[in-house]
Amino acid sequence: SAQQYQGIYVWRVENFSHHLRNQEAGQPIVLHSPPFYTGRPGYKLCLRLHLQTPSAPRCSNFISLFVHTMQGEFDSQLSWPLQGTIRLAVLDQVEGQHHIEVMETKPDLQAFQRPTVMRNPKGFGYVTFLHLQALRQRGFVKEDVLLVRCEVTPRFD
């Protein structure tokens, strides 16, 4: 399920222990969030989360996190490519010490162009967003739910 307010979107990844068990067994886990808009009118986006397997080269046992543009009802009213700031976070549900990364869009990348298919196959984000070991050390998973927050601040130059 998803919640969105004024360009801030919180994705509840349910049954997280199930995904972790499959990841530990060597199954690549790729999850897509429900779509959300940056506003009304706004860009339609979704998040893609990978739990990298223990054998993945260079990124084993990491959460990878990416943003994808999607075809949306306001596309003809918006300026493309998408420009602005994106803040991604995995929320610490106990102590509030969230793991946050901030990135600026790169207008020349395919990931920020107006999508020609339902979901842009190119995403933008972090292959090594957060090590899975950190999940066990802090309060990121509570009642088998991981919360991923995305805040998009579009810039209209």
Looking at the DSSP bridge assignments, the partners of residue 111 are none
pLDDT at 77: 94
- The mean of the pLDDT values for the chain is 93
How far apart are alpha carbons 99 and 114 in whole angstroms?
29
Task: Return the C-alpha torsion angle 152, 3, 39, 48, nearest 10.
Answer: 50
DSSP state of 119: B
Among 2, 13, 5, 8, CA closest to 130: 13
How far apart are alpha carbons 46 and 48 in whole angstroms?
7
pLDDT digits 0-9 by tens, 8-17: 999 999 999 9
pTM over 0.85: yes
pLDDT at 122: 95
- Rounded (to 5) percent helix, strand, coil in the chain: 15, 45, 45
